[in-house]
Amino acid sequence: MPHAIIFFDGVCNLCTGSVRFVISRDKKDLFRFAALQSDTALQQLQPFGFLTGKLNTVMLLENGRLYQRSAAALRIARRLNGGWPLLYAFIIVPAFIRDFVYDLIAENRYRIWGKQESCMIPTPALKAKFL
């Protein structure tokens, strides 16, 4: 099975922290990562009708399907080591409720966690995980 790709806001401190969190719990090496600001994101997301410059959400491309917002976050959690897959139980909560909470966090992420001037640069050891 090919690697699932997590698209994230490369200048958002919360988002890059989340990427580090996933990497440290992705013991089966299931995920690859691409900043929404990257050419890779543009190429991969364009067929789904997304303009990457306008996105403010995490996205997961898995087995040819694209998941956004809370659905993406829960599907990512489901594949991590430890107790994190238990969070997938929240998938039974209606998407409009899950996404409302997700959107509140997303809209305030720069104000609360800040942002960087440029996308994160992975260490040489992690470079293979980034597209």
Specify whether the CB–CB gap between 58 and 73 falls below 8 A. Answer: yes
> What mean pLDDT is predicted for residues 76-82?
96
Mean pLDDT of the chain: 87
pLDDT digit string (tens) for 21-30?
999 999 999 9
Percent of the chain at pLDDT > 70 equals 87
What's the CA dihedral at 126, 128, 129, 131 to 10 degrees? 130
**Overall average pLDDT of the 17-23 stretch:** 91
Say what percent of the chain tops pLDDT 90: 51
Residue pLDDT, tens place only, 88-99: 999 999 999 999
H/E stretch holding 65 reads strand 65-68
Taking the model in full, what pTM does it have? 0.86
Query: Over the stretch 47-62, which tens digit does the pLDDT of each residue have?
Result: 988 765 666 789 999 9
d(CA 110, CA 76): 22
